[in-house]
């Protein structure tokens, strides 16, 4: 989707308003994160380890409770309705589905069975489900070849494809994609992002993805949010972020002349803190 | 607030490595020990000592033992009752055969015998994991009880199959048998439990304890960094059975005085001790005590309050007690799935941060 298209379709699908997340009653992880995902957009959450990317995704899909986390402030709205109180399973029915980091396939089921479990919430009949199965196979031809293999014995790349394919089978409006590039060869990463882009363009699926690999994420996303220490420190269109000197310096590894020490730019983060 | 380590400067490495590095913790421990040894025996009557505190302390020791195996090393065991029986029958045979050794060495010896038996039954844990291991230890439970029932040598061919603790003395004070008084028994058991609780805390934070916890959290990763599963798992079985065996010995010799294997050490004992550590908190020394208190002291208190306080019929009170304890167990586990010890840990963390929420 182009920049212009985003500007015209101003409808916000998901908005996260100033959420604060505390783990185990005492550890503050997110210190007021706000973000918006436009309909049919691809939004990237970027940042180092421990910045709060995964926590943000988990608070949207309401998985925090399982890890003794809790949203103490703020609200999350999907299509204009609060979803903070819905369970993860109810969210799938609303059309929000998360693909977790590290894939988590059902390892004793075959690839095809894995994909079919994704259609658990569907009520529109077997014909529609089988059509979508074919659709998933058309996006991931590799899975078609291995459809009878046990998921636990497929490669990491194939498992990531199974996880994304399984999410697609629920006909989601929005997929929360956590670290799709983790542990994959660069070429496969490219392939996965290619597919994400095609799904977004052709099927109209909205993506919110958390990613370490800033370079590739900013190439495929429309908009990016950069998290540091549980706060959004910078956000903008992908094109803007790619040109930002600080992003270049610290996330893309492109420096203009002298290498800058991170410590010397602390003032920038402090200033930003008052603004957010 | 009061619980804050601000201003406590550690000048030596030893200070930092102390068992209780924070002053407040140390004061609390000294306070608890003082109350246990100096106040309780004089403030509470024979009934309290004999019927409430004695079983509480003995079950705490058993829970401590099982917690080492299940909580720290992650090996599920349903053989606790059987291992307690090993401790009881060992101490019985030893008391009859070598009374001149003295009671405490005999208890330690019976702990060692149980450790050997426990290690033997721990061997399957090298191949079997989780629920399957629980079933394997269940075999230990049934086999051991059968053995003590059928083989006359263990109960010295007494006609009833019961074993009776002969009177024994420590420094001239009778501690076992019907003539022993509550205060003496209490001092003996409380002393043993205090020493071995501190020992357990020390073992758990050291190298062996770390190995156990590594095996518990991820056995493959532990093996990859060089923890030997054979040594770690069997040592957990040995230490755990040592504790459980001592608890069994005290349970029989000091508390019950006489015992019959199918009644005193049946599968319910195994479950009771397992529930204690689940409710108290897996992998926590404090949790073993809290769990034992929850399942031993609370039912008795409830019953006493109902019978003496409200004049409830005692049969009815027994039923209500079971219902209330059951509801409380479920309630506590919903509030805090990781056990009572976790509640205490969160409370401590909250006190440190007070008045800030985080």
pTM recorded for the entire structure: 0.84
Concatenated DSSP letters of A23-46:
ETTTEEEEEEEEEEEETT-EEEEE
**Residue B103: exposed, middle, or buried by beta-carbon count in 10 A (0-12, 13-18, 19+)?**
buried
* Chain A residue nearest residue B353, CA to CA: A26
Q: What is the mean pLDDT of residues B270-298?
A: 94
Q: What is the mean pLDDT of residues B180-205?
A: 94
Q: Flag if B358 and A24 touch (Cβ within 8 Å).
A: no
What ipTM was reported for this prediction? 0.72
pLDDT on residue B354: 82
B348 touches chain A (CB under 8 A): no
pLDDT on residue A260: 64
Helix or strand run (H / E) with residue B173? strand B173-174
- Name every residue whose Cβ is closer than 8 Å to that of residue A24 and which is 6 or more positions away in sequence: A68, A69, B346
* Chain A residue nearest residue B357, CA to CA: A26
Lowest-pLDDT choice from A8-12, A88-92, B38-42:
A8-12
Name every chain A residue with its beta carbon within 8 A of the beta carbon of B346.
24-26
Extract the runs of DSSP E, i.e. beta strands, from chain A.
Answer: 12-23, 27-38, 42-46, 69-78, 81-82, 96-99, 174-178, 206-211, 223-228, 231-237
Q: What is the mean pLDDT of residues A142-151?
A: 92
pLDDT on residue B290: 95
Candidates A125, A104, A126; CA nearest to A114 is: A104
Question: Mean pLDDT over all residues of chain B?
Answer: 91
Cα dist from B282 to B20, B45, B48, B64, whole Å: 20, 33, 28, 10
B358 touches chain A (CB under 8 A): yes
Name every chain A residue with its beta carbon within 8 A of the beta carbon of B353.
26
Whole-number percent of chain A with pLDDT over 90: 55
* pLDDT over 70 (residue A3): no
Please tell me whether residue B163 adopts helix, strand or coil conformation. Answer: strand
Lowest-pLDDT choice from A196-200, B22-26, B240-244:
B22-26
A22 touches chain B (CB under 8 A): yes
Domain boundaries along the sequence of chain A:
3-95+172-275, 107-165
The alpha-carbon gap from A111 to the nearest alpha carbon of chain B, in Å, equals 26
Distance CA(B235)–CA(B308), nearest Å, equals 47
Q: Flag if A25 and B346 touch (Cβ within 8 Å).
A: yes
Q: What is the mean pLDDT of residues A99-127?
A: 90
Q: Give the confidence band of B9 by pLDDT, cuts at 50, 70, 90.
A: confident
* pLDDT over 90 (residue B175): no
Distance CA(B12)–CA(B16), nearest Å, equals 7
Alpha-carbon dihedral sign for residues B344, B350, B353, B355: negative
* CATH, range A3-95+172-275: 3.40.50.300
**Residue B131: exposed, middle, or buried by beta-carbon count in 10 A (0-12, 13-18, 19+)?**
exposed
Name every chain B residue with its beta carbon within 8 A of the beta carbon of A28.
358
Distance CA(A207)–CA(A176), nearest Å, equals 6
Candidates B252, B238, B243, B247; CA nearest to B95 is: B252
Cα dist from B15 to B11, B22, B25, whole Å: 7, 9, 13
Q: State chain A's maximal CA–CA distance in angstroms.
A: 62
How many CB atoms lie under 10 A from the CB of residue B172? 5
Lowest-pLDDT choice from A28-37, B148-157, B347-356:
B347-356
Q: Give the confidence band of A271 by pLDDT, cuts at 50, 70, 90.
A: very low
Name every chain B residue with its beta carbon within 8 A of the beta carbon of A22.
357-358
DSSP structure class, residue A258: S
Candidates A132, A102, A256; CA nearest to A205 is: A132
Question: Mean pLDDT over all residues of chain A?
Answer: 86
pLDDT on residue B232: 95
The alpha-carbon gap from B215 to the nearest alpha carbon of chain A, in Å, equals 22
Q: Flag if B346 and A28 touch (Cβ within 8 Å).
A: no
Please tell me whether residue A210 adopts helix, strand or coil conformation. Answer: strand
List pLDDT tens digits, range B95-114.
Answer: 999 999 999 999 999 999 99
Q: Give the confidence band of B307 by pLDDT, cuts at 50, 70, 90.
A: confident
Q: In this structure, what is the dihedral angle of CA atoms B204, B206, B208, B209, given to the nearest 10 degrees?
A: 30
Q: Give the confidence band of B161 by pLDDT, cuts at 50, 70, 90.
A: confident
* Chain A residue nearest residue B358, CA to CA: A26
List pLDDT tens digits, range A10-38.
Answer: 689 999 999 999 998 888 999 999 999 99
Q: Give the confidence band of B159 by pLDDT, cuts at 50, 70, 90.
A: confident
Q: Give the confidence band of A265 by pLDDT, cuts at 50, 70, 90.
A: low
Q: Give the confidence band of A263 by pLDDT, cuts at 50, 70, 90.
A: low
Please name every residue paired with A28 in a beta bridge, in sequence order, or none if there are none: A22
Q: Give the confidence band of A272 by pLDDT, cuts at 50, 70, 90.
A: very low
* pLDDT over 90 (residue B24): no
How many CB atoms lie under 10 A from the CB of residue B110? 28
* Chain A residue nearest residue B349, CA to CA: A26
* Chain A residue nearest residue B338, CA to CA: A68
* pLDDT over 90 (residue A200): yes
A267 touches chain B (CB under 8 A): no
pLDDT on residue B120: 95
The alpha-carbon gap from A29 to the nearest alpha carbon of chain B, in Å, equals 10
Name every chain B residue with its beta carbon within 8 A of the beta carbon of A65.
none
* Chain A residue nearest residue B342, CA to CA: A24
Backbone angles phi, psi at A81, to 5 degrees: -120, 145
Window A:165-194, CB contacts with B under 8 Å: none
pLDDT on residue A9: 54
Please name every residue paired with A37 in a beta bridge, in sequence order, or none if there are none: A14
Q: Is the peptide bond before B355 cis (omega within 30 degrees of 0)?
A: yes
Please name every residue paired with A249 in a beta bridge, in sequence order, or none if there are none: none
Q: Flag if A25 and B353 touch (Cβ within 8 Å).
A: no
Structure tokens at A181: 């590039």
The alpha-carbon gap from A64 to the nearest alpha carbon of chain B, in Å, equals 15
Q: What is the mean pLDDT of residues B315-325?
A: 88
Distance CA(B182)–CA(B81), nearest Å, equals 25
Candidates B230, B236, B276, B216; CA nearest to B81 is: B276
The alpha-carbon gap from B296 to the nearest alpha carbon of chain A, in Å, equals 30
pLDDT on residue B45: 87
pLDDT on residue A266: 55
Find the length of chain B.
358
A25 touches chain B (CB under 8 A): yes
Angle at B309 between CA B307 and CA B315, to 5 degrees: 15
The alpha-carbon gap from A28 to the nearest alpha carbon of chain B, in Å, equals 6
């Amino acid at each position: 989707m182009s920049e212009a298209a985003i500007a015209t379709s101003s409808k916000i699908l998901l908005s996260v308003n100033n959420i604060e997340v505390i783990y185990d009653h005492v550890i503050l992880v997110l210190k007021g994160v706000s973000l918006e995902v436009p309909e049919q957009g691809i939004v990237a959450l970027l940042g180092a380890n421990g910045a709060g990317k995964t926590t943000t995704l988990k608070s949207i899909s309401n998985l925090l409770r399982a890890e003794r986390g809790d949203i103490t402030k703020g609200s999350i709205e999907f299509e204009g309705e609060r979803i903070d109180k819905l369970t993860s399973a109810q969210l799938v029915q609303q059309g929000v589905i998360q693909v977790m980091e590290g894939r988590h396939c059902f390892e004793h089921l075959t690839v095809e069975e894995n994909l079919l479990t994704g259609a658990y919430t569907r009520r529109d009949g077997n014909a529609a489900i089988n059509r979508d199965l074919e659709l998933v196979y058309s996006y991931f031809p590799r899975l078609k070849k291995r459809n009878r293999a046990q998921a636990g014995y497929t490669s990491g790349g194939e498992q990531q494809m199974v996880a994304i394919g399984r999410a697609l089978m629920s006909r989601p409006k929005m997929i929360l994609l956590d670290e799709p590039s983790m542990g994959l060869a660069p070429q496969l990463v490219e392939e996965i992002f290619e597919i994400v882009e095609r799904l977004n363009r052709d099927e109209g699926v909205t993506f919110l993805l958390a990613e370490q690999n800033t370079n590739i994420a900013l190439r495929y996303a429309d908009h990016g949010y950069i998290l540091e220490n549980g706060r959004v420190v910078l956000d903008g269109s992908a094109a803007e972020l790619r040109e930002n000197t600080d992003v270049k310096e610290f996330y893309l590894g492109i420096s203009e002349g002298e290498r800058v020490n991170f410590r010397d730019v602390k003032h920038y983060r402090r200033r930003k803190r008052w603004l957010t | 607030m009061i619980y804050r380590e601000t201003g406590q400067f550690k000048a030596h490495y030893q200070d930092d490595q102390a068992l209780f590095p924070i002053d407040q913790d140390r004061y609390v421990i000294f306070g608890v020990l003082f109350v246990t040894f100096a106040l309780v025996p004089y403030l509470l009557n024979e009934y309290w000592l004999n019927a409430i505190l004695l079983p509480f302390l003995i079950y705490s020791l058993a829970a401590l033992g099982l917690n080492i195996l299940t909580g720290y090393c992650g090996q599920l065991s349903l053989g606790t009752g059987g291992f307690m029986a090993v401790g009881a029958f060992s101490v019985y045979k030893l008391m009859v055969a070598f009374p001149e050794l003295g009671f405490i060495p005999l208890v330690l010896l019976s702990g060692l015998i149980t450790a050997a038996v426990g290690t033997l039954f721990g061997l399957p844990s090298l191949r079997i994991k989780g629920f399957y291991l629980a079933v394997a230890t269940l075999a230990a439970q049934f086999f051991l009880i059968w053995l003590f029932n059928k083989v006359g040598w263990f109960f010295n061919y007494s006609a009833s199959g019961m074993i009776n603790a002969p009177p024994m003395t420590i420094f001239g004070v009778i501690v076992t048998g019907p003539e022993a008084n509550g205060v003496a028994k209490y001092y003996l058991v409380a002393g043993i439990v205090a020493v071995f609780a501190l020992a357990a805390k020390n073992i758990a934070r050291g190298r062996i304890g770390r190995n156990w916890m590594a095996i518990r959290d991820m056995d493959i990763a532990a093996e990859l960094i060089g923890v030997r599963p054979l040594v770690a798992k069997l040592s957990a079985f040995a230490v755990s059975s040592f504790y459980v065996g001592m608890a069994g010995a005290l349970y029989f010799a000091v508390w019950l005085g006489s015992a019959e294997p199918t009644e005193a050490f049946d599968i319910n004992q195994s479950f009771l001790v397992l529930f204690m550590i689940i409710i108290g908190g897996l992998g926590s020394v404090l949790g073993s005590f809290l769990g034992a208190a929850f399942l031993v002291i609370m039912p008795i208190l409830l019953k006493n309050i109902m019978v003496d306080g409200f004049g409830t019929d005692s049969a009815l009170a027994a039923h209500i007690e079971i219902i209330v304890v059951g509801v409380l167990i479920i309630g506590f586990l919903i509030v805090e799935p990781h056990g009572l010890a976790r509640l205490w840990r969160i409370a401590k963390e909250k006190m440190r941060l007070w008045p800030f929420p985080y």
